[in-house]
Amino acid sequence: MSEFEQAYTVVLMHEGRYSNRGTDSGGETYRGVARNHHPGWLGWGFVDRWRPHPAFPAVLDDVAGLQLEVRAFYRAWWERYGYGRLESQDVATKVFDLGVNLGPKAAHVCMQRALRSVGWRVAEDGILGSITVNAVNQKHPCLLTGIRCEAAGYYRDLDLQQSQEYEAGWLSRAYS
């Protein structure tokens, strides 16, 4: 079974640290957790408490309680969707990482389309159910490449106005 810690490391690498760009629909974001989408996340208390600090936002990376909240947030995500049931660490990491960025349904559809491209008859319903898990666990050698290609296609189909700013980073994430 796949390990959360390995996947978590990749997510943190892609999600970066603190940002507050007006063009991001999530608004203020720390390590990928967007305030507009997760306003009740306990980590926002730490962010708000440290905002007056002269080294803000860099100081946030040294706040142990905040780092524990980030880990707990992503651990709950990992468990909610059952990524640990996937035997391939690479596939579990890729789909978890994409789920954090695209949303779980879109990430799961990318995986299901990749499965279909290698001959598995699975529904493209965005649900990581037993049929999809079983197909993934057959470890087709081209599955990870297929997921990467499907993710890149998904990113390219996003609104061109938005994707102009983010496309290079999105495609890098898709192919990583």
Provide the edge-to-edge strand list for the sheet that holds 18-19.
18-19, 29-30, 33-34
Structural domains counted in the chain: 1
| Average pLDDT value over all residues in the chain | 90
Strand partners, 153: none
Give per-residue pLDDT as tens, 92-114: 999 999 999 889 999 999 999 99
Q: For position 147, which CATH number holds?
A: 1.20.141.10
Six token digits for residue 50: 């440290």
Domain that holds residue 10: 4-175
Give per-residue pLDDT as tens, 45-54: 999 999 999 9
Q: What mean pLDDT is predicted for residues 24-40?
A: 92
Global pTM reads 0.89
CA distance 174 to 156: 10
Distances (CA, A) of 159 to 63, 88, 103, 124, 170: 36, 32, 16, 22, 13
CA distance 110 to 97: 12
